[in-house]
Chain A
């Protein structure tokens, strides 16, 4: 039987993979995908908490409802983020992160 710790460990690994992707990859689309991975790591831990925080024998559904909200908002965010990336590509002809530094002093 998997315990809460197992879930949190999986969630932490997933978050770390996502964060490492954000830090290390150079392509902005991949970075964006890694960001999604981090969001889903948070979702996984929420679901884990929901499962193990029972009230009167039932899981705590509040956490699950919050997860649905996050998925919905993430979908909207992906739409906006991809649109920004497309606009950025049109302006710069690149998705490479080293070339996107025009706000630097």
Chain B
């Protein structure tokens, strides 16, 4: 047995424990403990990357018919994910030292970050559904802690609640799905299920529903429609948290899980179609919403939603490896975008409105250039990372489902458009606020991670690099028409964004429907209010009329009524009582002696 995976998994947990128990008052030390832990994880993840595949587990809880096992599954997927999570995680930890420098709750922040790393690595390593579900929930908790880091702000506290509650809905379906899988097959181990699932001879309906229940978990965690509403609000957390959790890793966990259990979907065309169209729909919706946001982090949040939708639709198209490849490249450039945005926000004293920015090219050159690289990578500029990974999805879409391919092409156009809009408005032109005029480059502890993330954003997509991380990918060969379409769409999007927003001081386009996120949040609050009111009305009726009226007052009233009637027999005449008593005795004697 190889102990490296255990070290990868538990070193962040140890750091979180050490920070909470011992180094809480020493903020600087806390941050170093946390960074050291993730560095250890990163080193061991590198050693694991070269090691052979293995599947190890031991019994944690043994209930006879049902065993809960804890173990790890090292294969191509988890090796790649381990490197992404620890690598991006490490850079973001380092960046956090600078970003959170003046924060009072720094120890708490780093403890939360370490707890998150532990949970996320647990999902990546899990070799069965139960372990994955445990870490799935742990990830939810640490995300809650970190979104609500600035809990004094009620918006942050609300966002944390929203994230947790919306995720609960998805997780409930996930749990039902796990139970369905277990009751059909008697095992929750991925290894056994992979070989066993298709031979169980399940009804098509059962298999489809089980797969869709499992998909519910991904809908919650990867913020797919209709549970996407929590992710934009989660931007209330510190920016490095948004980069790590709500862009690069945690929200990708749903996609990773789908790829991991793809065998559940493989046999069901209906389930795949649902996954595909949910992904495409989310992606399109989010891309449209992103075009009208003015908060720099929210644009990135919607862009994350859109890209996650793309990954999910890739799973739905039957190419989970392409989904993971896009996850892999997306993790780098989206983390870079968020960290770049964080760098701008930090130097503009917490200004997040991009219309208050501008003219940052000279003042923040490192941020400017790295942000540009990430923007182009996300927009699909050849030959940057995003071009290759998106191309895989577009090609697969045109091969399997032309309608989905068309929609994805439209999405890619909007992606390039809103990213260019963001870039032009936030960085180019002249400074549009006092803060933007006095902007300055971030300290090296923040700038160096930007540069280090820019490198994979540039090269992570090249086929040779892809081959190192995805040896299992089939050699489909580049699809020339798909590439041409991608390039044309990229140029059109970038061009439209550049022309439309160049030198503007306010948004020339106003589409309230997009800016208000299709009123989905409002719809949900009305829906929740109605449901709640209806349920409360039913509960109040039962309580008032059945419990109170029928049982409590009914019993009490009946007793009282009998008492009231009987007290008229108390006439207050002693001799009448004696007569009745005597009469009763005579009656009893008569009944006993003669009537029987």
What is the interface of chain A, defined by CB distance below 8 A to chain B? 19, 22-24, 31, 97-98, 100-105
Please give 17 more A-B residue pairs, beta carbons under 8 A apart, in addition to A23-B582, A97-B574, A105-B567: A19-B582, A22-B575, A23-B575, A23-B578, A23-B579, A24-B575, A31-B575, A98-B573, A100-B574, A101-B573, A102-B572, A103-B570, A104-B570, A104-B571, A104-B572, A105-B568, A105-B570
What is the interface of chain B, defined by CB distance below 8 A to chain A? 567-568, 570-575, 578-579, 582
In the docked arrangement, what's the CA distance between A24 and B575, Å? 8
In the docked arrangement, what's the CA distance between A105 and B568, Å? 7
Q: Which residues of A contact B578 (CB under 8 A)?
A: 22-23
Q: Which residues of B contact A98 (CB under 8 A)?
A: 573
The chain B residue with its CB closest to the CB of A97 is B574
The binding surface of chain B is classed by DSSP as: helix
Instruction: Give 27 A-B contacts (CB < 8 Å), ordered by A residue.
Output: A19-B582, A22-B575, A22-B578, A23-B575, A23-B578, A23-B579, A23-B582, A24-B575, A31-B574, A31-B575, A97-B573, A97-B574, A97-B575, A98-B573, A100-B574, A101-B572, A101-B573, A102-B572, A103-B570, A103-B572, A104-B570, A104-B571, A104-B572, A105-B567, A105-B568, A105-B570, A105-B572
Q: Which residues of A contact B570 (CB under 8 A)?
A: 103-105
In the docked arrangement, what's the CA distance between A102 and B573, Å? 10
In the docked arrangement, what's the CA distance between A73 and B573, Å? 27
Would you give the shortest CB distance from A39 to chain B, in whole angstroms? 15
Q: Which residues of A contact B579 (CB under 8 A)?
A: 23
The chain A residue with its CB closest to the CB of B569 is A105
Would you give the shortest CB distance from B246 to chain A, in whole angstroms? 75
Q: Which residues of B contact A23 (CB under 8 A)?
A: 575, 578-579, 582
In the docked arrangement, what's the CA distance between A10 and B579, Å? 22
In the docked arrangement, what's the CA distance between A101 and B568, Å? 14
In the docked arrangement, what's the CA distance between A98 and B574, Å? 8
Would you give the shortest CB distance from A99 to chain B, in whole angstroms? 10
Q: Which 4 A-B pairs have the closest CB atoms?
A: A104-B572, A101-B572, A105-B567, A105-B570
Q: Which residues of B contact A104 (CB under 8 A)?
A: 570-572
Q: Which residues of B contact A22 (CB under 8 A)?
A: 575, 578
In the docked arrangement, what's the CA distance between A102 and B574, Å? 11
In the docked arrangement, what's the CA distance between A98 and B200, Å? 93
In the docked arrangement, what's the CA distance between A103 and B573, Å? 10
Would you give the shortest CB distance from A45 to chain B, in whole angstroms? 15
Q: Which residues of B contact A105 (CB under 8 A)?
A: 567-568, 570, 572
Would you give the shortest CB distance from B577 to chain A, in whole angstroms? 10
In the docked arrangement, what's the CA distance between A97 and B573, Å? 8
Would you give the shortest CB distance from B560 to chain A, in whole angstroms? 14
Q: Which residues of A contact B574 (CB under 8 A)?
A: 31, 97, 100
In the docked arrangement, what's the CA distance between A103 and B575, Å? 14
Q: Which residues of A contact B582 (CB under 8 A)?
A: 19, 23
The chain A residue with its CB closest to the CB of B575 is A23
In the docked arrangement, what's the CA distance between A101 and B572, Å? 5
